[in-house]
Amino acid sequence: MNIELLVVPDCPNEAVAATRLRRALDGIGLLDAVFTRRIITTQAEAERAGFTGSPTVLVDGQDLFPAADAVPGLACRIYLTPDGTGGAPDPARLREALQRLAPLLRADWGH
C-alpha cells in the first residue's frame, strides 16, 4: 500500500498532520509503515491527485476523508473535529480510518 501526505508548499499544517499520521500508524501497530510527503504545486497536479486541500492523506490514491462536494485545488483544507474545525485530521479519526485498512496495511508491511 502507498500512503501519502499531500501538501501545498509551506503548508502551516504539514508538521501536525505528519506527526498525527506517524502516531496513528504506530498506534495500530504499523511501526515499520512508511509514508511519503508530496508537494502539490499546480492546479493540474491537484486535479490528477484528487487533492482537495492541504494536508490530504491518501492510501493507494484514495482520500481517507473524502468530501463529496470538494473540488481539487491549491488551498488549505479544513477538517471537522470534535472541538470544531482544524487544519489537520483529528488524531482519533485518523487512527480509525487507518484501522479500517489495517489488514491490508499489515499485509504490505509483514505484520
Answer yes or no: are the C-beta atoms of 54 and 89 closer than 8 Å.
no
Name the strand (E) or helix (H) holding 54: none
Task: Enter the C-alpha cell of residue 81.
Answer: 473535529
Number of DSSP helices (H) and strands (E) in the chain, helices first: 3, 6
3-state secondary structure of 94: helix
DSSP-assigned letter for residue 53: S
Residue 56, strand partner residues: 6
pLDDT (tens digit per residue) in 35-79: 999 999 999 999 999 999 999 999 999 999 998 899 999 999 999
Would you say domain 3-108 falls under CATH 3.40.30? Answer: yes
Ranges of each domain in the chain: 3-108
This prediction has a pTM of: 0.91
User: Which phi and psi (to 5°) does residue 16 adopt?
Assistant: -65, -45
Could you report the per-residue pLDDT of 75-101, keeping only the tens digit for each?
A: 999 999 999 999 999 999 999 999 988
